[in-house]
């Protein structure tokens, strides 16, 4: 009758089937949970340990998103190991000085990146920071835009604002610059150049710091974003060959 547990052989069969169904359900739930947590580290995402072997700056890794933050105080000369070339670089109390004509490139290749630093150029003209796919932060050229901060994409002015020439070279100017595949936005000191939507090139980019027209003091630097997967794979090949056993011991 309904409501009573099954009796006899038939009842035992039903109970066995119920137990098997419960086990199958439990196994399915376990697989689902594992698949959800495995997404925390997408295929190709580096580990924190591998990143620390690769970069000399302070490294942080968001395991959920795979985004990396690299910080450089430049108090440690080893921080410059992530940059090229290094000719003429001088260390200051809170940063470094780039000599005239210098182009200091960070070795990482990014899919998207945020650059946070401060600059103090001796000359109020010239490119200060750029990407290798030609997105540029420029101080106005000695023309009608001589007192402008200009955000350029492929050499074309996308956004600009006026600044006071007399303030350049007297104190560090904070820079907060976000670049991704769809847009770029820039804060330069108290100026907000807004968001520019003409799509930057959809390809990996490296960051370069310039002293085009005069020396530039570069303060503590933070680069954060998504490292290019192909660059990670290519750059890791020699290192993985030599560190495989080391990694195995750690595990």
In this predicted structure, the answer to whether residue 35 has a pLDDT above a threshold of 70 is: no
Share of the chain above pLDDT 70, in %: 71
Rounded to whole angstroms, how far apart are CA atoms 219 and 72?
A: 9
So where are the chain's domains?
Answer: 1-39, 48-243
| C-alpha 194: how far from chain center | 20
- For the chain, the residue count is 251
Options 3.10.350.10, 3.30.565.10, 2.60.40.10, 2.60.120.560; CATH of 48-243: 2.60.120.560
Average predicted confidence (pLDDT) for the chain: 81
String of DSSP letters for 135-163: EEEEE--SSTTTTEEEEEETTEEEEEEE-
Confidence of residue 234 (pLDDT cuts 50, 70, 90): confident
Which pLDDT score, from 0 to 100, does residue 7 have? 55
**Least confident range of 15-19, 71-75, 93-97:** 15-19
Which pLDDT score, from 0 to 100, does residue 3 have? 53
Q: Tell me the two tokens of residue 202.
A: 């959809």
**Least confident range of 8-17, 96-105, 150-159:** 8-17
Look up tokens 């409501």; give the residue.
Answer: 3
In this predicted structure, the answer to whether residue 128 has a pLDDT above a threshold of 60 is: yes
Rounded to whole angstroms, how far apart are CA atoms 44 and 67?
A: 12
Q: What SS3 class is residue 117?
A: strand
Rounded to whole angstroms, how far apart are CA atoms 149 and 127?
A: 10
This prediction has a pTM of 0.75
């Amino acid at each position: 009758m309904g409501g009573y547990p099954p009796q006899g052989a038939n009842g035992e069969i039903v109970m066995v089937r119920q137990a098997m169904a419960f086990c199958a359900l439990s196994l399915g739930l376990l697989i689902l949970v594992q698949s959800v947590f495995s997404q925390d580290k997408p295929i190709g995402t580096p580990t924190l340990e591998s990143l620390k072997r690769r970069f000399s700056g302070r490294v942080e890794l968001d395991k959920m998103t795979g985004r990396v933050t690299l910080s450089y105080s430049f108090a440690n000369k080893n921080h410059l190991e992530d940059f090229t070339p290094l000719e003429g670089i001088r260390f200051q109390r809170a940063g470094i000085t780039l000599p005239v004509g210098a182009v200091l490139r960070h070795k990482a290749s990014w899919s998207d990146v945020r650059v946070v630093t401060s600059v103090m150029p001796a000359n109020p003209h010239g490119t200060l920071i750029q990407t290798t796919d030609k997105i540029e932060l420029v101080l106005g050229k000695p023309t009608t835009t001589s007192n402008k901060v200009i955000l350029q994409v492929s050499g074309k002015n996308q956004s600009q604002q006026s600044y006071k020439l007399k303030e350049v070279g007297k104190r560090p100017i904070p820079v907060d610059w976000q670049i991704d595949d769809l847009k770029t936005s820039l804060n330069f000191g108290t100026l907000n150049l807004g968001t520019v939507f003409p799509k930057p090139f959809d390809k990996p980019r490296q960051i370069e710091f310039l002293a085009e027209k005069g020396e530039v003091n570069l303060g503590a630097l933070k680069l954060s974003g998504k490292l290019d997967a192909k660059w990670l794979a290519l750059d890791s090949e020699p290192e993985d060959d030599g560190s495989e056993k080391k990694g195995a011991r750690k595990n």
